[in-house]
Amino acid sequence: MKRQLWIVLGGSAALVLALSLAFPPPPVSAQGLVGPATLQTTLASGATRISSLTQQAYQVMLQNNAAHSMRCGDGNVTSTRGALLTASGGTINFSAPLYLSQLYCVGTQGDVVDVIYVH
């Protein structure tokens, strides 16, 4: 009887382990936030809004992979005002809660800025 019980319990534990490996939980950080999401924005002439989403993000990273430098910041960003993202890899991180729709970049029309954010 004891042997049969151990076989049943051992089989149940193996099934639970297999199911937990097959269906892992979604990515969640320690604060209970959803893991990173990405988007790309193509710059137009003048200040370009990063996203029209009213999604609040708790951390945002902007990266410039274009061949030209760009500046990023709020709606007042210009070609001489804002954080400078150098060509081919310039990056800036924002670690305060903000809405993606509050961020703008100015640079060469057609260049792309990569955005990674936690919401």
Lowest-confidence segment of 5-9, 24-28, 68-72, 97-101 by average pLDDT: 5-9
Residue 70 predicted with pLDDT over 70: yes
In the numeric block, the tokens 């009887």 are attached to: 1
Contact 55, 81 (CB under 8 A): no
Its pTM surpasses 0.75:
no
A 10 A CB-CB count for 47 gives 20
**DSSP state letters, the chain:** -HHHHHHHHHHHHHHHHHHHHHSPPPPB-TTS-B-EEEEEEE--SS-EES-----EESEEEEEE-SSS-EEEESTT--SSSSEEE-TTTEEEEE-S-EEGGG-EEESSTT-EEEEEEE-
Per domain, the residue ranges of the chain are 28-118
pLDDT band per the 50, 70, 90 thresholds, residue 34: confident
Which CATH superfamily groups domain 28-118? Satellite virus coat domain (2.60.120.220)
Share of residues in the chain with pLDDT > 70 (%): 72
Q: What is residue 119's predicted lDDT score, i.e. its pLDDT? A: 87
